[in-house]
Amino acid sequence: MLIIGIAGGTGSGKTTVVNQIIKQLPTDEVCVISQDSYYNETDSLSYEERTKINFDHPRAIDFDLIIKHLKALKSGKTINQPIYSFVTHNRTKDTIKTHPRKVIIVEGILIFNNKELRDLFDIKIFVHAETDERLIRRLKRDITERGRDIDEVLTRYQTTLKPMHQQFIEPTKNFADLIIPNDRYNNVAINVLRTFINERL
């Protein structure tokens, strides 16, 4: 089993890189674990309290559960991956049954912040994009997919996203084995990854 960690700021293009890796592999050989599914449960909080959570701080992530699930997959067990709703700011009651695969991709903005989780990755990739490009992508996504208005997105960006990126995300580039600049389609980086995956499998 090969475990790949893919980190990078919000809107950096992690999903694009994940999809490029998946395209190179048979569908029954790869599964994806998203950090976004592992935000802490917020059942005890009101909706108003949930909206004030800083989702870009490592404290917002249930790292213990990600690590537990990744270790279970590594030992050949099936897991029930949580499903998180960005509309209600809480986990839903549903889960995704996730089976062990030859390649497991773990993606998220904060996955390199936890040493125990970081040490489970066979290769660590950081996807880099310029600040203005990430903001534009975040605006488009939050407005169209998550029902936010532009003022809410910009306020959250200025008060939490930008400072949290500088404090907790950008420095984790130092842990990466490979940094992919995502201002254009990067054939060379994807080819390097494909070669690495094929060699390990």
Sketch out the chain's domains with CATH numbers.
Answer: 2-200 (3.40.50.300)
With 80 as the cut, is the pLDDT of residue 131 above it? no
Farthest-apart Cα atoms in the chain, separation: 50
Range scoring the smallest mean pLDDT among 50-59, 89-98, 144-153: 144-153
The beta strand positions in the chain, using DSSP E, are 2-8, 30-34, 79-85, 90-98, 103-107, 123-128, 178-181
Q: 68 falls in which pLDDT band (50, 70, 90)?
A: very high
- Rounded to two decimals, what is the model's pTM? 0.85
Alpha carbons within 13 A on the beta-carbon side of 44: 2
pLDDT in the model for residue 185:
59
With 90 as the cut, is the pLDDT of residue 153 above it? no
Range scoring the smallest mean pLDDT among 40-44, 74-78, 90-94, 140-144: 140-144
With 60 as the cut, is the pLDDT of residue 183 above it? no
In degrees and rounded to multiples of 5, residue 163 shows phi and psi of: -65, -35
With 80 as the cut, is the pLDDT of residue 146 above it? no
Per-residue pLDDT, averaged over 93-112, amounts to: 94
Number of helical (H) and strand (E) elements in the chain, helices listed first: 8, 7
Rounded alpha-carbon distances, angstroms, from residue 83 to 47, 51, 98, 126, 189: 18, 18, 12, 24, 30
Instruction: Calculate the CA 82 to chain-centre distance.
Output: 14
The residue that leads in pLDDT, 186 or 62, is 62
